[in-house]
Every structure is written in C-alpha cells, then in structure tokens.
Amino acid sequence: MIRSENLRSGYIQDDVEEYLYKLLPERDAVVTEIEDYAAENRVPIIGPAVARLMALLVQVSGAKHIFEMGSAIGYSTIWLARAAGPKGKVIYTDGDPEKANRAKDYFRRAGVAKRIEVRVGNAHELLNRTSGKFDLIFNDVDKHQYPDSLRVALPKLRRGGLFISDNTLWSGKAARPAAPDDVDTRGIQEFNRLVYASKELYPVLIPLRDGVTVCRKQ
Ligand SMILES: C[S@@+](CC[C@H](N)C(=O)[O-])C[C@H]1O[C@@H](n2cnc3c(N)ncnc32)[C@H](O)[C@@H]1O
C-alpha cells in the first residue's frame, strides 16, 4: 500500500505504482511507525521501495563508511545503518534540530544508535569539515542545492565509492522546460547534466519512485 502521496512518482501509472508497493514485505514496528508519522505529518521520506534499493547498494558494495546529507527524521538513515551492519558507521545530517531529536529516538528503538552519528547543521559544511573519504554518500537535501551537493561530495568520496541522490526526476518535471523561478527543478536539471558530463562519475538514473541517481566514482 502507498502510505503517503509523496511516495507517488507523478509519472508512473497509479496501478503500476500500487503494484510495486504491494510487492514489498511489511517493515518492522519502528520503521512502520516512521512511515506512518511521515505520512501524517507530510515529512518527505524515500519510502520502502527506494530504501530497499539503497540497502541493496550498501550490501553489494560493502559500504561501511557512509555520509548522509538531508536525513530528516532518520528513515533513510536506519535503512543505511542496518544494511551496513554492526561495523558500519553512518553520519546523519540535517539542519532541523527537532527532526534530529525525533530521529535519535527512532535510532535507539531501531537498535542502530551506536552505528549513527547525528550532526545538526548545513550538510555541505558538515561534510566539508569531515576528514577522510566515504564509501557511500547519500544526497537528499533541498533540490536547488543539488549542484552544490555534487561539488562538495565528489572530493569526499573514495574511488569506487557510490554517490546516490533521490528525486532526480522530480515528479517528471526534470524532463520538461522549467520556469525561471522554479529553482528546485532547475537545480535537479543542472545536477543531472553535471553528473552525466562528469569524467569522474559513472551515473545511472533509475526511474524508481521520484528517480534515484546512482553514481560510481571512477
Ligand atoms: C527529503 S528530506 C530527507 C528525507 C530522508 N532522507 C529520508 O528519506 O528519510 C530533506 C531534509 O533535508 C534537510 N535539509 C535541506 N537542506 C539541507 C542542508 N543544506 N543541510 C542539512 N539539511 C538540509 C531538511 O531539513 C529536510 O529534513
């Protein structure tokens, strides 16, 4: 079942999208509670279909050192942390301290608090200030900031690492001419152009839900 409207793509036929979500196994109590809270309070989350893709990418790549830009109430963070396993370390970042407090409670109850470091502030500045390189960086900040996310993330990603961004079709608007003041659509369009033009990245835009772009650093 599709619990919240933000999980609809806006370009996939409704019955096909419902079918895709009905195939997914039920989640545990904490993850289900977060999905319900997000639906009731209109918190945009990646949802279970994209979360499974992320978990799969963490598992097949063996990523342990993960940085997340735009973590909100920690839904995607929990999926990343669980997939990374007990030796994994995920850095949560969000500019909203209230969301971070809620996320901390979920992390404790989901049994992954020890694998997650919570940092509140501007995700780009926080990543810039962090030493070392990451196996995987997940980008889900406000969409007009996506070109900046790319500029900040690239030097912080190890060779062979994955840079993953959500919402890269932006309800299909990415494919259509954008109004001059539609800064989010323009940000996504510029981001998509930049990743496919980059000689350092091997990107694939997957039309799952709102579009997910997975890039491997060459
Ligand atoms: C789409 S939500 C993240 C959802 C989360 N990834 C999930 O799927 O569970 C975007 C979040 O990014 C945060 N945000 C936007 N721009 C940011 C920035 N530059 N630095 C830190 N947080 C930012 C917002 O406060 C919001 O909570």
HSE at residue 113, side-chain half, CA atoms within 13 A, is 12
pLDDT recorded at residue 154:
98
Under 8 Å between Cβ of 47 and 39: no
Whole-number Å distance between alpha carbons of 109 and 155: 34
Q: Is the pLDDT of residue 203 over 80?
A: yes
Under 8 Å between Cβ of 165 and 148: no
Whole-number Å distance between alpha carbons of 136 and 153: 10
Under 8 Å between Cβ of 93 and 99: no
Ligand 1 site, residue 34, Cβ cutoff 6 A:
no
Ligand 1 site, residue 76, Cβ cutoff 6 A:
yes
Whole-number Å distance between alpha carbons of 119 and 5: 29
Q: Is the pLDDT of residue 29 over 90?
A: yes
Q: Of 182, 188, 126, which is closest to residue 152 (Cα–Cα)?
A: 126
pTM: 0.97
How is residue 14 written in tokens?
């409704």
CA 25 to chain centre: 20
Ligand 1 site, residue 210, Cβ cutoff 6 A:
no
Tens digit of pLDDT for each residue in 157-183? 999 999 999 999 999 999 999 999 999
Tens digit of pLDDT for each residue in 93-119? 999 999 999 999 999 999 999 999 999
Give the C-alpha distances (Å, rounded to integers) separating 167 from 2, 65, 148, 184. 17, 23, 15, 10
Helix axes 29-41, 97-110, angle to 10 degrees: 160
Q: How far is the CA of 119 from the centre of ligand 1 (A)?
A: 12
Whole-number Å distance between alpha carbons of 116 and 201: 27
pLDDT recorded at residue 64:
98
Whole-number Å distance between alpha carbons of 170 and 94: 21
Q: How far is the CA of 140 from the centre of ligand 1 (A)?
A: 6
Ligand 1 site, residue 9, Cβ cutoff 6 A:
no
Alpha helices in 134-215 (DSSP H): 146-153, 183-197
- Please give the average per-residue pLDDT across 125-135, as a whole number: 97
Give the C-alpha distances (Å, rounded to integers) separating 163 from 15, 98, 130, 149. 31, 27, 16, 10
